Structure formats: structure tokens, C-alpha cells
Amino acid sequence: MRAPRPSPAEKPGTAMCVGCGSQIHDQFILRVSPDLEWHAACLKCAECSQYLDETCTCFVRDGKTYCKRDYVRLFGIKCAKCQVGFSSSDLVMRARDSVYHIECFRCSVCSRQLLPGDEFSLREHELLCRADHGLLLERAAAGSPRSPGPLPGARGLHLPGRTDGKERTDEPENEIN
């Protein structure tokens, strides 16, 4: 009498599909990360249900898979002003831990675009050009009821940023104190 064959679930090296929970007997297995394997027909974006295969970029977060568009929309860095994400070709400006599109990097009082080299301050996540920062300080000193108060330790950075994950290490050159 022959020994019983092990069930497929007991066979060492048998892949289980994360999407449907069934064994993968297909010729091709889609491996998203070292421990996540899928049937080709089961790998879909958790947000839009687009099928994900070897021709598109796939992202995993909290055990869910996403197409690039949805991953960037849901989890990517967004402009501190307009809340829209960045493309790899966008030029950006950074102030403290905030990132802005170049066209969004404007004084919140007069709407003047702030350019690299311009002095500015950052107060409660609002950018102020040098002139409006000065007016704000004058009103604060005069005790104007319209004054929102002094700018405690205002410090602005005017460094062009990057969206590729690499951090600039330059120190700020023009800041208003």
C-alpha cells in the first residue's frame, strides 16, 4: 500500500495567491514583494480595480496593492498650498517641512510669487514676503487690533526642493528674523 500523497496545501513551495487565497498552479506567478504572490488575474489596484501586471508599476501599502496613479494620489507628498501632488518634472520650493509648486509659492497677503533668493517668513503655514512680514511686525508693535501678533522665531527657507526622495542639505541664506 502506498503512503497518501500530501495535499497541495502541504507541499513545500506551493504558492498561495494573496488575492483569492487559492493555490497558484499557473505557469506564471506575480510576486509583488518577497512574501506576496498572486495569480495574474487576481493582482488589481485596491482603489480602482485596474489589473496590475509586469507592464505597470505596483505599490503595496498596509497589505493592499495600488497602481501608481492611485498610490501617488492617496499617499504621495502634496503641495502645502493647493494640496495637489507633484510630478517628477515639477520644480518645487521648500519651507521648513512643507513643499510647494513653484507657482503656489506666494505671499499669502499680497499674492506676489516668491522666487529663489527672495526673503520670506513662514507663520502658521502661511508664507509672507519681506514687505508684508514688516507690516505685520509694525502692526504688532503698534498694538493694532488687526494684528495677529508677532512672528515668533519666523524662519523661511528658499531652497529648490526635490521630489525624488533625496534631501537638500543647503542652509538657508535669506531669512527674516
Domain 92-161 matching CATH 2.10.110.10: the answer reads yes
**What pLDDT, on a 0 to 100 scale, did the predictor assign at position 13?**
65
Give dist(CA 102, CA 90) in Å, integer.
8
The reported pLDDT for the residue numbered 2 is 41
Task: For residue 60, count CB atoms less than 10 angstroms from its CB and return exposed for 0-12, middle for 13-18, buried for 19 or more.
Answer: middle
Same fold, 15-74 and 92-161: yes
How confident is the model at residue 54, as a pLDDT?
A: 76
Which pTM value belongs to this model? 0.53
d(CA 31, CA 68): 17
Please provide the distance, in angstroms rounded to a whole number, between the alpha carbons at the two ends of the chain.
89
Which superfamily is assigned to 15-74 in CATH?
Answer: Cysteine Rich Protein (2.10.110.10)
**The C-alpha cell of 101 is what?**
509648486
The residue ranges of every structural domain in the chain are: 15-74, 92-161
Rg (CA), the chain: 26
